[in-house]
Amino acid sequence: MDKNVLPYMMTDDPYFNKIDDVKSIMNETWISRISRYQLTYWYFYDHHLQELNLRFKTQAKSLYYRLSYLSKDELKILADSYYYKTNEERPTLTQLSKKYGMTYNDFMYKRIAIIGKLSKPRLKPKGVGKPTKEQAEREREFKKLYQLSRRLLSPDS
């Protein structure tokens, strides 16, 4: 096991896998502190997902669902801010504000606004559940063809 993997994240101990806790994770409204906490584990979740216990897999899933609702630019800012193996690798806000050509305060407020978007519970990733117009049209055509084939193959005809 990787020395960076926290043992309590792998345990099957019922204390860490209470089903009520797991269900509530997806439905929670995240305050800013929780969003930042989850973002600090983003890299970790990506690289150790198969090793995680149920509770932390659910937390990762909740994070990924919430991230799917952000634009590419917003994701880039969060990735540049949080997606690192260790805290030592993470650039400072001053370095990031210079990279994005913003003042320190403007960058900080922009990042806070993006983190705020993660607060709303998301039970599905963006785009899942609603078919596109093309998918809906293909589905209708498929149903028509299926019904036609059933009529042609039925013994009554």
**For the segment 9-54, what is each residue's pLDDT rounded down to a tens digit?**
555 555 444 545 556 677 788 888 889 999 999 999 988 888 888 8
Instruction: Decide if 16 is inside a domain.
Output: yes
pLDDT, residue 20, reads 53
Q: Are residues 131 and 85 in the same domain?
A: no
Name residues whose C-beta falls within 8 Å of residue 54's C-beta, 6 or more positions apart in sequence.
17, 22
Q: Are 120 and 29 in contact (CB under 8 A)?
A: yes
Q: Are 59 and 25 in contact (CB under 8 A)?
A: yes
The span from the CA of 31 to the CA of 115, in Å, is 9
Q: Are 103 and 97 in contact (CB under 8 A)?
A: yes
Q: Are residues 45 and 63 in the same domain?
A: yes
Instruction: Decide if 1 is inside a domain.
Output: no
Q: Are residues 102 and 114 in the same domain?
A: yes
pLDDT, residue 115, reads 95
Instruction: Decide if 86 is inside a domain.
Output: yes
Q: Are residues 115 and 142 in the same domain?
A: no
Phi, psi values for residue 67, rounded to 5°: -65, -30
Q: Are residues 137 and 115 in the same domain?
A: no
Residue 2 predicted with pLDDT over 60? no
Mean pLDDT of the chain: 80
Q: Are residues 64 and 96 in the same domain?
A: yes
Instruction: Decide if 60 is inside a domain.
Output: yes
Q: Are residues 103 and 52 in the same domain?
A: yes
Structural domain harbouring 141 = 127-157
Instruction: Decide if 84 is inside a domain.
Output: yes
- What is the arithmetic mean of pLDDT over 89-97? 93
Q: Are residues 67 and 84 in the same domain?
A: yes
Residue 131 predicted with pLDDT over 70? no
pLDDT, residue 56, reads 84
Residue 64 predicted with pLDDT over 80? yes
SS3 39: helix
**What's the total number of domains in the chain?**
2
- Going by pLDDT thresholds of 50, 70 and 90, the confidence category of residue 114 is very high
Q: Are residues 98 and 45 in the same domain?
A: yes
Q: Are residues 153 and 104 in the same domain?
A: no
- CB count within 10 Å of CB 69 equals 14
SS3 84: coil
pLDDT, residue 1, reads 44
- Going by pLDDT thresholds of 50, 70 and 90, the confidence category of residue 93 is very high
Instruction: Decide if 2 is inside a domain.
Output: no
Q: Are residues 116 and 147 in the same domain?
A: no
Instruction: Decide if 42 is inside a domain.
Output: yes
Q: Are residues 89 and 69 in the same domain?
A: yes
Residue 76 predicted with pLDDT over 70? yes
